[in-house]
Chains A and B, each alone.
Chain A
Amino acid sequence: MTVTDVDLEKSPSPVIEPVAISPKKAKKPWGFMFWVAISWLVLVIGGTAIANVVDWKKDADFTGAPVVNGCGWRATVSWLPSRVPSVSKDFEQLNAIQLERQAAFDASQSEADQVALQQANNQLDPVKTCYDALKTKSDMESITPQGKWSHPFGLNFSGNDILVDVVRGAKNSLFIAAATIFLGFVVGGITGMFAGYFRGRLDMICSALMNVLLSVPGLLFILLMIAVLSSRGGNGQAQGLTSSVYKVSFALGILSIPQIFRVVRGSTMQFAQREFVMAARAMGAKVPRILMGEILPNVAKPMFAFGLVAAGSVMVLEGALSFLGIGVGSGTDTTAWGKQIAAASQRQDLEAAPMVAFIPGLALFFTILSLNYIGDKARERLETKQGAI
């Protein structure tokens, strides 16, 4: 709310008030869903903040429970770090099944039947073995309810608590979204403002460049960028695609520049023709002052709303990248939502334990949804304000 608005409201109303000043409408409330969306975002951001502080004891083996075949079936993380998970009973059951399998394996070895050996080996694939054992117990979830609240969503295929992984995975998505939008606005926003204000040749060159960048196939471009940025060096032998948070942010940021450029340029062009800019120019204001003092504050408001929505679409792309295994957390032990989804998206896994894939998916969905919703609401409000001028 600007100063003039307050003044108008508080000034003793003159007689002609209804004619001179349109009666000030009461501000539309944000609505219930808006606060739900806000609180979801706060929850996610707060969760990432906590996730860095709390020691989840991620890889500590559960004492007393045998880890069979290195299947990594660790009951490690309790939601409240002080509580000790009590899933040893399940481990006994699991162990029994594993021993059975082991016996079968040994038997087939004594027969020396190559085919049977192969089958047994397949069955003894560590993760699958754990998983098969679980399937006989009908479901992933059924193994966990011992400490009812120790694993509210159960464990995933690498034996981590799903909820904890989701909380830990949020960090990268959020960071990348923020960094990308920042880069996009710094480069795209500044060039957009200059192009929109000065027009002419500068605008033509910038727009042509951005058009080229805009018609590059997006996902491919990111792939290429990451390939270029990854693993520079060594003996000249190519090493697969490795990536980090910074590489992904950089690639996505480059890709977001033209979109932001276009929007900023458009709205700068709009504002550059308004009376107050002309007035400033007539008063002899220099270009930097007009850009910073007159245009930027006006452009920034709708851009804020656009940035929120753009952050949502960046998160989609980021999730897609880490789903493909080239985004964050490829190879390393950092985790990301896309990676968690990918880890549980084999057909059999998906069929039997869909929630392992869908819970991080839902987290991603809700985050994007709330970003879109907040962006939408903010734009609505800012636009009506513009219209009222």
Chain B
Amino acid sequence: VTSTPVPGDRELLDRARRGDGDAFGLLVVRHQDRIYTAVLRFCGDEEDARDIVQRAFLNAWRRIDSFKGDSAFSTWMYRIAFNESVSFRREGGRKRLVESGSEPADDRRPGDRLDSEENRAKVQDALSRLDPDDRKIIILTEMEEKSYDEIAEILEIPKGTVRSRLFRAREALREKLKIVLKSAEPGSIESRPRGGGI
């Protein structure tokens, strides 16, 4: 029994560079879910996310020759997609993007906890009101479960910056969510469960 010769990203990229649209189409199909999720969390709107991701892939297709393959295709795509998200917003988008920093009316008392699915919208809203750089790093860490090395590559910042920025980003988000901390239990540090990378 031999392993199936399923083309990897690199082979598909090589074919795409030679103008093979089918190969690029397979790359789109392969990566669109995770890119879409990241963009959706970044912009908070499904229609915007759809437009942004589509633009990002088309942008990638047009610039396929400039991709040298030093990093993974997904790394490159995250970068393009985030840049596209920022451009989309700068251009006005669909005018539905939430202004970062603007606080929505919230009658939640500081002692209340977010404890059910009904608050998913509030979590997304809080995320959307974060500074864009903080938002990206939260999405990549908490949702995409990327390593610091991968995040540094995607955001093109030093790994040390990832580390310091991440703590501040979490603090900012926590503030917006107004989550009350559980009573700490010193001595039992539980690391965040992390799934496999891509």
On whether the two chains bind one another, the answer is: no
B residues at A contact (CB < 8 Å): none
A residues apposed to B, CB below 8 Å: none
